[in-house]
Chains A and B, each alone.
Chain A
Amino acid sequence: MKAVLSMTLGVMTAIGGFVDIGNLVTSGITGARFGMTLAWAVLVGTAGMVLFAEMAGRVTAVTRKPIFHVVRERLGVRVSLVNAAASTFLNLITLAAEIGGVSLVLQMVTGISYLIWVPLAGLAAWLVIWRMPFQWMENIFGLLGLGMIVFVVALFRLPTDWHALWHQVISPAVPAGQPAPTWWFYAVSLIGACIVPYQVIFFSSGGREEGWTSKSITEMRVNALIGFPLGGLLSLAIMAAAVPVLQPLNIQVSHLDQVALPVASAFGRAGLAFVFVSFFAATFAAAAESALSSGYSVAQYMGWSWGKRHPPSAAARFHLVCLASVIAATAFTLTTIDPVTVTIFAVVLGAAAVPLTYFPILIVANDARVMGQRVNRRWVNAAGTFFLTIMVVVSLVSVPLLIITKAGQ
């Protein structure tokens, strides 16, 4: 019974943990502008995330070595240094976007300008890292993040034309009057919003924190195979909810509170309360997780002791890196750069950088000397290589698309 309980808790945490500011913004924008024609990108991104997270989780469970051990040991000195620097830079931008997201949610709730909330959000995120036990942090915010189910329920209350939505999902095409590069740009941003590097770093390092062994592989797989797809479903629900409400009125989403309008028109204040709580939980958990991930990446790369399972004084430099990244991200957000734009840059650059951490994991998962009989099966390798080619193509086109469409205009 206890196993089932912890399993469901793990799944729900994975659902809540999957959705972050990147999913909220990109799903809202694409739903209002392109309808469901970009649903395929969320499916590709979620499938990729499940595959990548399962492989990384399995490597961590068997070898007790999360991602950046593998990066440092397998990629040689120069390549691994470039990899670690790029990933840390990306974690910082994502952290800034998440802190901006938390502040936007608080602005939505209280009406006070988000700039006031940014330092408080940064401080609160750091306090969670500094003292809140790992399990609490994951479970509390993961469960609160489930409030986003209100979007799924709202779909039944809103005048949704299910047939038209289904038709758009099945036969995706660039909607008339929309520029093709922008359509492809948002496809890349949706894939990037699903496969966020810090989420995989956190998933595998979190596994090490919880002391995963080969026996916990089944539980890890359940989390990844059920939790993340349901998280992807939530993103699709946010996208779909925008179609009946925002698209007919030609509203283009450029602020986080516009994403919540469909629920307001479906359920009014009660619905909005759910949205506020779940948006806050999702973005706040993501802020704490991305701050932790920048600490994880640097500490694992340099071989310092890391993690919340040790008292802070035993993992001094890890906490120093987390503190420094929170301060840097908060300062960056305080430059009043629009958090929504920062989020779009973070997810697109994130999509471009996925192969950096995915390639070494795919290789190590095939090393029998280290993985024993837990090496990749043939079909997992086939799916893994197919996904690697997709992500390499995505990273090649993402920066040019970013420039051509001026970040999605």
Chain B
Amino acid sequence: MTRWDEDEFTANDLLLDRELIDCHGMPAGRVDDLELSDPEPGEPPVLTALLCGPTAFGPRLGGRLGTWWQAIGRRLRLVSGSYPNRIDAGLIDHVDRLEITLLAAREHLDSYRFRRWTEEKIIGRIPGDTT
């Protein structure tokens, strides 16, 4: 059950570029884009998921830099397909003007891959990293 601080707001105020905090209080990235349900005639679109990762951030940048950013993101993804990391709207715990807290731990989120890769491949190899 998502708790919203305000009942009427805009995407730039509360959602876009906001920091995601997981259930352990650790940062889990930022909202780069929003996924809305496809609009039917009588039914306005509804927020279904938060999207993060370079393939979501690229289109918002626009221009050559945006497509270049998106291409890098696509190549970085170990899993094929260029759909960005998706965090279902049901996972959102609380939204206020400071951050968006989630119900899940960041390890279970899509966007965990790049962090785990750095952790294991680089930082994990340097002595003294565990304490």
Contact = CB atoms under 8 A, between A and B. Distances in A.
State yes or no: do A and B touch (Cβ within 8 Å): yes
Contact of B122 (A310, A314, A316): A316
A303 B18 CA distance: 9
B28 A303 contact: yes
Interface residues on B, range: 20 to 34
Ranked 4 nearest A-B pairs via Cβ? A303-B30, A316-B119, A316-B123, A312-B129
A317 interface: yes
Nearest to B22: A305
A311 B118 CA distance: 14
Interface in A50-77: 63-65, 69, 72-73, 76-77
Contacts of A78: 61-62
Given A312-B126, A320-B123, A323-B122, 5 more contacts: A72-B30, A303-B20, A303-B27, A312-B128, A313-B123
Contacts of B1: none
B53 to A, nearest CB: 10
A369 B122 CA distance: 41
A302 interface: yes
Interface string B13-55: 0000111100000111110000000000000000000001000
Main secondary structure of the interface of A (DSSP, over half): helix
Given A69-B19, A73-B18, A303-B19, A313 B124 contact: yes
Contacts of B118: 316-317, 320
B67 to A, nearest CB: 14
A304 B128 contact: no
A64 B115 CA distance: 23
Nearest to A301: B30
Contacts of B126: 130, 312
B122 A313 contact: no
Interface residues on chain A, size class = 20 to 34
Interface in A131-177: 131
A51 to B, nearest CB: 24
A279 interface: no
B122 A320 contact: yes
A305 B26 contact: yes
8 contacts: A64-B98, A72-B30, A78-B62, A130-B128, A312-B123, A312-B126, A316-B124, A317-B118
A311 B98 contact: no
A81 B128 CA distance: 33
Nearest to B18: A73
Interface of B: 12, 17-20, 26-30, 52, 57, 60-62, 65, 97-98, 114-115, 118-119, 122-124, 126, 128-131
Grouping DSSP codes into helix (H, G, I), strand (E, B) and loop, the B interface class, with mixed when no group exceeds half, is: mixed
Interface string A116-138: 00000000000000110000000
A313 B119 CA distance: 6
Interface of A: 63-65, 69, 72-73, 76-78, 80-81, 130-131, 302-306, 310-314, 316-317, 319-320, 323, 369-370
B61 A81 contact: yes
Contacts of B12: 76
Given A78-B61, A320-B118, A313 B130 contact: yes
A77 B27 CA distance: 20
Given A316-B123, A369-B97, A73 B26 contact: no
Contact of A72 (B17, B26, B124): B17
A71 B110 CA distance: 25
B128 to A, nearest CB: 6
Nearest to B31: A303
Nearest to A63: B98
B44 to A, nearest CB: 25
Nearest to B69: A81
Contact of B128 (A72, A131, A314): A131
Nearest to B116: A316
Contacts of B18: 73
Contact of B123 (A65, A69, A80, A319): A319
B89 to A, nearest CB: 18
